[in-house]
Amino acid sequence: MSALSPEALVALAGIAEHQRQRTSRIASVLGNRLGSSALDYAVAHHLLEGAEHAARARGADLLAWYRRTTVRDLTHLSADWHIVLNPPPADLLRSEISETAYYLVGPDTRPAPSEVRGLVRAALASATEHGFGTLLTRHAPVICLLNRRRLDETLHSWALTRLPGTVFTDYTAHPEVLARDLIHEAAHNWLNDALTAHDVRLPGDVTFFSPWRGTPRPVYGFLHACWAFSLTVLYVRQARRDATGAVACFLDTHLRQQEGRFVSVLDSLAGALSFVPTEAIRDRINRAVGGVVSPA
């Protein structure tokens, strides 16, 4: 099986139309004039979630803000094609149905400090140089940086299905590490959109052992891990070539860990993919994992 470029891996018919339709429905509910870009799609979910919070709290002014705001009103938060957020930890929210923290754009959201925006721009430039610019533009247009860490500290990152297009992540001073984590979470957002756009429903009672969690996981989680980690490996292999010092050692460790884990999932991948009826999605996951275990 021939390798695909990162751009080709994430080019999938149906996703853009799914995003446009979803954004249009949210705009209709809110009664505003959202556009049709990937950034509009991500912001729309912040506005919808925020409006729901405001309505439950009977905050008329806040509800009005969420109903009238569009991407054009948020340019003070922008860095090129992305919105960059750097909220204090106290401003993170938690849902009654999930302990995973998140943050919503609101009228009091402040622009991220210039050094944070500079770091994001450098990370986006690195990702773009190595073929992942489209993935981040379309599936991580809202970037929320959380805690600054050292390379020897654990980095946490996540994405939420109810805030597609938004990535939450800790960060270091190194653009290559941030780019790696943005690519990982954008990959999760991509796969969620791909499965929804093609109406793929995966069984919840079929599991495969995940070396990333050290436990059996449902098909959905197993495939998400295979896809997201494979893209980080493909990026890190390229970024490592120009890295030096401590960050080079960090990236080398990432590659060693991931390559060993991918060898252990090969026997399970075909079985997990058999539950995905859309050939184009199966093909992309197969090719991404194949690029990890059998590099060109």
Q: How many residues does the chain have?
A: 296
175 contacts: CB under 8 Å, gap ≥ 6: 119, 122, 123, 125, 126
- Strand residue runs (E) in 58-97: 78-79, 82-85, 93-95
Distance CA 233, CA 226 (A): 11
Of the candidates 296, 295, 213, 206, the one whose C-alpha atom is nearest the C-alpha of residue 255 is 295
The overall longest dimension of the chain from CA atoms, in Å, is 58
104 within 8 A of 46, measured Cβ to Cβ:
yes
pLDDT for 2 beyond 90: no
267 contacts: CB under 8 Å, gap ≥ 6: none
pLDDT exceeding 90 applies to what percent of the chain? Answer: 94
141, 194, 106, 80: CA torsion to nearest 10: 10
pLDDT of residue 1: 54
> Which ranges constitute the DSSP H helices of 150-218?
175-197
Of the candidates 35, 36, 34, 38, the one whose C-alpha atom is nearest the C-alpha of residue 10 is 38
Segment 5-34 shows an average pLDDT of 97
Place of tokens 């446009």: 20
Q: Please report, for residues 103, 162, 223, 262, the alpha-carbon distance to residue 50 in angstroms, rounded to integers and kept in the order given.
A: 10, 12, 31, 39
Q: Please report, for residues 18, 61, 69, 78, 220, the alpha-carbon distance to residue 38 in angstroms, rounded to integers and kept in the order given.
A: 11, 27, 16, 14, 24
Segment 160-186 shows an average pLDDT of 98
51 within 8 A of 63, measured Cβ to Cβ:
yes
Q: Residues 203-228: pLDDT tens digits?
A: 999 999 999 999 999 999 999 999 99
pLDDT of residue 296: 60
Segment 41-48 shows an average pLDDT of 98
Of the candidates 146, 186, 144, 179, the one whose C-alpha atom is nearest the C-alpha of residue 165 is 186
pLDDT for 84 beyond 60: yes
* 125: its two tokens: 């430039």
* Lowest mean pLDDT segment, chosen from 98-102, 215-219, 229-233, 265-269: 98-102
Residue 203, helix vs strand vs coil: coil
* Lowest mean pLDDT segment, chosen from 28-37, 53-62, 286-295: 286-295
Q: Residues 115-160: pLDDT tens digits?
A: 999 999 999 999 999 999 999 999 999 999 999 999 999 999 999 9
Burial status of residue 85 (CB atoms within 10 A of its CB: 0-12, 13-18, 19 or more): buried
